[in-house]
Amino acid sequence: MNIGVIGGGSWGTTIVHLLTRNPANRIKLWVRNPEVVETINSTQRNPKYSGDTDLTDRVEASIDLEYVIRQCPLLFLVVTSASARQVLHDMGAYLDGSQILIHCIKGFEHTTFKRISTIIREETCCRKLGVLSGPNLAKEILMGHPSATVVASPFEEVVEAAQTAMISPHFRVYGHRDIVGVEVAGALKNIIALASGMSGGLGYQQNTESLLLTRGLVEMTQFGLKMGAQASTFRGLAGMGDLIATCSSRLSRNYQVGERLAQGETLEQILGTMSYVSEGVPTTRSVFKMSQAFNLDMPITEGVYQILEHSLSPSQAINALMSREHRYEEEFFG
């Protein structure tokens, strides 16, 4: 089957790699940069993101979005949240409603605070949609480490298509029905990863990391419930699973940003030297504003927001968290 991947960055290239594990798949990869297209088609590699990993001759890269979409009944959208609406608007001219579209974006639209699945419905005729999210550090997947993800959709056809296309001896795909919860979990865990990176950058270790992950999961769950998600989703791969992976590994770009902030670099310096997008930075700003509208108390999110806005240092934010009013833990789980 022809399968399209829209976006050739780090995660898009990793999705391509996963799809090549099934010898029945032929992958059409849309990339904006003609030089990257030429490199992939001539060397079967995307060296900036996949290193020496061979993407096989069953991958064809193209700058022609229409060509990719019209040939592929199954599509994976793997672009940044900031560019998602424009790319989907362009895709809308070529989608005919029969395709399955699975997005792999862990963030919101930061001007409207809308989820990506909402934008898909607004900009395209596609209704057979899904969202892919989970504890998926790209480098570990490229190294062949056993991993798993979640594909959420109200349509069994979407989940089955993803499982058929992606499952391999080193990669499992679990189905889920809670699109809202999987989208919210994938976005908000990046905020907690920023906080965890700051904790590591300050020299704190497992006790502090455990505190941030546990209390961070509470914030994610409460926010998700306000958005219409199921609480149980946050105890699975898309929630706690992704939280553990992203908050405990220096492979996580959000962890790296938090760590460097705690070590004294400015946000502008950090982002200016990164070749990868840190979705946690704009997501923090969006979620903090949304939490105010929801009248939700999200102290970790608020602390990270204040650090990004230069009104607190990471050490001041930690001190503020540790001096909050004493509570009973079960109050948050009732």
Residue 151 dihedral angles phi and psi, to the nearest 5°: -115, 115
Contact 106, 217 (CB under 8 A): no
Q: How far is CA 140 from each of CA 16, 135, 200, 271, rounded to the nearest angstrom?
A: 14, 10, 21, 23
Question: Quick one: pLDDT at residue 175?
Answer: 98
Q: Between β-strands 74-77 and 147-152, what pairing exists: parallel, antiparallel or unpaired?
A: unpaired
Question: Quick one: pLDDT at residue 197?
Answer: 97
Q: What is the mean pLDDT of residues 213-224?
A: 96
Residue 47: in which H helix or E strand, if any? helix 47-50
Q: What is the pLDDT of residues 110-125, one digit of tens each?
A: 999 999 999 999 999 9
Residue 77 neighbours by CB distance under 10 Å: 26
Contact 136, 13 (CB under 8 A): no
SS3 193: helix
Q: Where in the chain is the domain with CATH 3.40.50.720?
A: 2-177
Is the domain defined by 2-177 classed in CATH 3.40.50.720?
Answer: yes
- Residues annotated as part of the active site: 189
Q: How far apart are CA 220 and CA 228, in angstroms?
A: 12
Q: How far apart are CA 236 and CA 261, in angstroms?
A: 30
SS3 1: coil
Q: What is the pLDDT of residues 132-142, one digit of tens each?
A: 999 999 999 99
Q: Where in the chain is the domain with CATH 1.10.1040.10?
A: 190-332
Q: What is the pLDDT of residues 276-312, one digit of tens each?
A: 788 999 999 999 999 999 999 999 999 999 999 988 9
Question: Quick one: pLDDT at residue 205?
Answer: 95
**What is 95-138 written as a DSSP string?**
--S-SEEEE---SB-TTT--BHHHHHHHH-S--SEEEEESS--H
Question: Quick one: pLDDT at residue 329?
Answer: 81
CATH architecture label of 190-332: Orthogonal Bundle (1.10)
